[in-house]
């Protein structure tokens, strides 16, 4: 081959490669993936819940072959380290460097609130299936922060307070972790319970990560109440339930829990001592609803554990987003249309086995299950519904406008009606 011939053929080869590359690039642009940024605590105090959040999202994406509305989904996972400053930094990274079309996740309210404040400026859609801070769907709504498949903290304890009245309980004491999530859950129960004639005898607030509950349990034992409501999460919940039993209170005074106190992430490691605790929630893994059973069976086959609130919520949350994208033909770039579609979408086919829609304030309306921890045939404990409150609003039976005029629940405001 002489030089001239070589030049000719190599030029032709390069040109051919070039023309080949152009349509290829265009084809790629058309099917550019939908980028989902997942923020989750993989390290820090709530790391175990964070890992289950990832599982929930991946479990759904696997079931749809990583496709939404015909577009490939690219999942970018970042560790928020259970720290709001880190969460903020990682959110910036996902939005500004990762060019994510949306963010989803975060577990602790402070991380979620930090990210919510950030996306308020960027307009990035941010979905919060776990963040329960009441005011994100009440007094301080942000249009692009949507609680798909999530719940507001006091939404389930309102009906729970009503249920307590129906049991004939007159006096209740509460014990709770001292932070907003706890204040809000206790407030919901205290307000409905006292307005119905009940009495909140005493409220104990303890710091997160309390190793020894005996000072509280000793006082609780002396109070002679009809029931004790415990608002605990994670390791605190495990310790509280164990020490409640070893203090001899179990069997004497009924123990009521916030939904996270008897979540699978807690009772998975417990035995006899968690038997018979009552809690109110939208999801009960022991429900005989076929949709719930199918989800639990498949999740267990895949991850060898019964799904927790975290797995369930993230699975349903991303499913909600997928169904909304389906409606707008996958055009995730059109943010306004996308947010609008999510707000209007009614979630079907979720593990709840019932259609779920958002209220006018962006909070889902659920049937609230009053559930009890019972032993399953194989010896593991799970939550089985014993009764249900259909279509519960986050405002319970109050008028939303009047309700939002009262201050948010806090350590100093629990909505307690003076007798």
Partner 1 sequence: MSNAGSAPIKIAGLTGRSLVVVLLVLATTAALPLVLSNYQLELATEMLIFGVLAMSIDILSGFAGRTSLGHGAIFGVSGYVVVYASAQAGFSPAAAILLGVIAATAVAIIFALLAVRTSGVYFLLLTLALGMIVWGICLRWTQVTGGENGLRGDVRPAFLAGHRAFYWAVLAATTVVSYAMWRFVRSPFGLTLLGIRDSESRMKSLGYNVPLHLFIGFAVSGFFAGISGALYALFNNFVSPSTVALEQSVEGVLMMIAGGVGTLFGGFVGAAAIIALENVVSAYTERWQTVLGLTFIVIMIFAPDGIIGALRAILPRGGLARERYKD
Q: Which is nearer to partner 1, 47 or 337 (CB)?
A: 47
CB of 406 to partner 1, least distance (A): 16
> What are the structure tokens assigned to 276, written together?
């018979």
How far, in Å, CA of 166 to CA of 314, rounded? 33
Site for partner 1 in 393-412 (CB under 8 A): 410-412
Q: Which is nearer to partner 1, 114 or 148 (CB)?
A: 114
Q: Which is nearer to partner 1, 43 or 167 (CB)?
A: 43
118 binds partner 1 (CB under 8 A): yes
Site for partner 1 in 179-198 (CB under 8 A): 179-180, 183
Site for partner 1 in 333-392 (CB under 8 A): none
Site for partner 1 in 63-102 (CB under 8 A): 78-79, 83-85, 88-90, 92-93, 96-97
43 binds partner 1 (CB under 8 A): yes
CB of 381 to partner 1, least distance (A): 29
113 binds partner 1 (CB under 8 A): yes
109 binds partner 1 (CB under 8 A): yes
Site for partner 1 in 258-317 (CB under 8 A): none
CB of 282 to partner 1, least distance (A): 23
Q: Any residues with CB less than 8 A from the CB of 273 and at least 6 apart, and which?
A: 241, 242, 244, 245, 246, 250
Among 45, 73, 133, 324, binds partner 1 (CB under 8 A): 133
Binding site for partner 1 (CB under 8 A): 42-43, 78-79, 83-85, 88-90, 92-93, 96-97, 108-110, 113-114, 117-118, 121, 133, 178-180, 183, 207-208, 410-412
């Amino acid at each position: 081959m002489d030089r001239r011939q070589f030049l000719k053929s190599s030029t032709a080869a390069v040109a051919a490669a070039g023309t080949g590359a152009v349509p290829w690039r265009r084809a790629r642009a058309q099917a550019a993936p939908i980028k989902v940024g997942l923020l989750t605590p993989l390290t820090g105090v709530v790391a175990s819940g964070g890992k289950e959040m990832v599982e929930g999202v991946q479990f759904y994406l696997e079931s749809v072959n990583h496709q939404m509305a015909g577009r490939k989904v690219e999942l970018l996972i970042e560790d928020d380290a259970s720290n709001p400053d880190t969460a903020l930094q990682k959110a910036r990274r996902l939005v500004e460097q990762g060019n994510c079309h949306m963010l989803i996740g975060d577990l602790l309210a402070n991380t979620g609130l930090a990210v919510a404040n950030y996306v308020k400026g960027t307009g990035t859609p941010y979905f919060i299936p776990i963040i329960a801070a009441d005011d994100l769907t009440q007094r301080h709504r942000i249009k692009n922060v949507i609680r798909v498949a999530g719940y507001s903290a006091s939404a389930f304890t309102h009906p729970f307070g009503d249920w307590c009245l129906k049991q004939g309980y007159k006096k209740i004491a509460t014990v709770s972790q001292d932070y907003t999530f706890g204040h809000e859950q206790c407030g919901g129960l205290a307000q409905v319970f006292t307005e119905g004639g009940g009495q909140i005898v005493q409220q104990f607030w303890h710091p997160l990560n309390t190793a020894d509950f005996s000072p509280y349990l000793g006082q609780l034992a002396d109070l002679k109440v009809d029931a004790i409501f415990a608002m605990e999460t994670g390791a605190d919940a495990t310790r509280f339930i164990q020490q409640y039993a070893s203090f001899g209170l179990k069997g004497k005074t009924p123990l009521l829990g916030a939904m996270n106190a008897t979540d699978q992430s807690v009772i998975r490691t417990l035995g006899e001592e968690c038997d018979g605790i009552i809690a109110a929630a939208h999801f009960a893994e022991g429900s005989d609803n076929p949709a719930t059973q199918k989800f639990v069976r498949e999740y267990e086959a895949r991850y060898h554990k019964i799904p927790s609130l975290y797995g369930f919520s993230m699975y349903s949350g991303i499913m909600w987003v997928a169904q909304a994208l389906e409606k707008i033909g996958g055009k995730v770039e059109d943010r306004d249309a996308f947010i609008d579609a999510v707000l209007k979408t009614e979630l079907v086919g979720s593990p709840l086995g019932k259609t779920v829609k958002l209220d006018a304030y962006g909070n889902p309306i659920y049937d609230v299950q009053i559930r009890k921890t019972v032993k399953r045939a194989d010896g593991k404990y799970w939550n089985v519904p014993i009764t249900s409150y259909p279509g519960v609003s986050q405002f319970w039976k109050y008028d939303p406008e009047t309700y939002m005029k009262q201050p948010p629940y806090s350590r100093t405001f629990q909505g307690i009606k003076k007798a």
